[in-house]
Structure 1
C-alpha cells in the first residue's frame, strides 16, 4: 500500500508540474471573435469576470497536436487536431481536480484533470483537417487517443469525450 501511495503522490506532483510548465497561452487576452469556450471555477487566470473566454483564434494559437483514431461515433478512423487539453487548462490556471465539460445541448461529462496529464487528450477543433460544424460534433470535441491504449477503448473514456463543447467548469 505504501508503494501505491508513493506512486499516487509522484503522479500528482508530475501533474502539477506539467500544468505549471505548459505553454503560456494568451488567456488574458480578450477574444476578438465569437467565444467558443469558457473555462470557469477554480482557475487563477481570467480575461472576463471570474472566467476565461476563448475564441477559435486563441485556441489555434496554442501548440496544435493531431492523431488519427477509431471512435464509436464514426465507421472509419478520423484525424483530430487541436490544442492538448492540458495546455488549455494551463492557460486558465486551473487549480481544481475535476472538469465538468458542458456541451451546447447541456450534456455534461465529468473527467479528472489528471486525465489531461496521463493522456494526450486533444480539444479537437479540426476533424480530418477541417473545422467541425455543430451538426458533426463541433465546434469543439474532447477526444482521447483511443487507439493508443486498450484502456482508453472503454465506456469510461468514451463518456468523457464531450462534443459540441461550450464550457469547462473546474471543481
Structure 2
C-alpha cells in the first residue's frame, strides 16, 4: 500500500513540476528593442514583442544561406518598414544579438538590399536554438554579392537590439 501511495505522490509531484515548467516557458516573451532618434530629433526606445512585429506589414523572402541546408522561406518585417514606422532615418545601424555579437550596416546598405527581420523559417517560428527568435536575413539568391564574408557578418541571428544612429 505504501508503494502505491508513493507512486501516486510521485505522479502528482511530476505533474505539478511539469506544469510549472510549462507555464514558465510560456511566460518567457522574446522581444526586440529599437533605439534611435526620429526625424524630429526625439529619442525613441521601444521594445516590441513578436505579436507586435507581426502587426506590421510582413514580407516573405526565399533564399539559400550558408547556415541552412537548401533554400528556405523566411517571413518577417523589412527593417526599413520597421524603422519607417517609428520615423527613424539613421545613417548607421548596429544590430546586437543575445550572445553580445554585434554588426553594423549603413542605411544605404539596408535600403539597397532590404533585409527582413525574420520571425519564421519555413512557416515555423524561429527558436533561439535555430537562429531565432529574430534573424536579420538578406537574400543571397537575389544579391549574390551578399555571400561575401563581410556581408554575411551583417546577418545577425538571435537579434535582440537595433540601434539606429
TM-score, length basis structure 1: 0.73
Structure with greater Cα Rg: 2
- Residue 115 of structure 2 is aligned to residue 107 of structure 1: no
Aligned to 1:41: 36
Matches of residues 66-85 of structure 1 in structure 2 within 5 Å? Answer: 66-85=60-79
SS at match of 1:148: coil
- Residue 125 of structure 2 is aligned to residue 131 of structure 1: yes
Equivalent in 39, 59, 62 of residue 65 of structure 1:
59
Equivalent in 133, 137, 147 of residue 143 of structure 1:
137
Equivalent in 85, 89, 92 of residue 95 of structure 1:
89
| Larger helix fraction of residues | 2
- Residue 118 of structure 2 is aligned to residue 121 of structure 1: no
| 4+ residue segments displaced more than 3 Å | none
How many residue pairs end up in the alignment?
Answer: 136
Unaligned runs of 5+ in 2: 1-27
Contact 1:80 1:126 in 2 (8 A): yes
Contact 1:100 1:108 in 2 (8 A): yes
Aligned to 1:56: 50
Unaligned runs of 5+ in 1: 1-32
RMSD of the alignment, in Å? 1.9
| Larger strand fraction of residues | 2
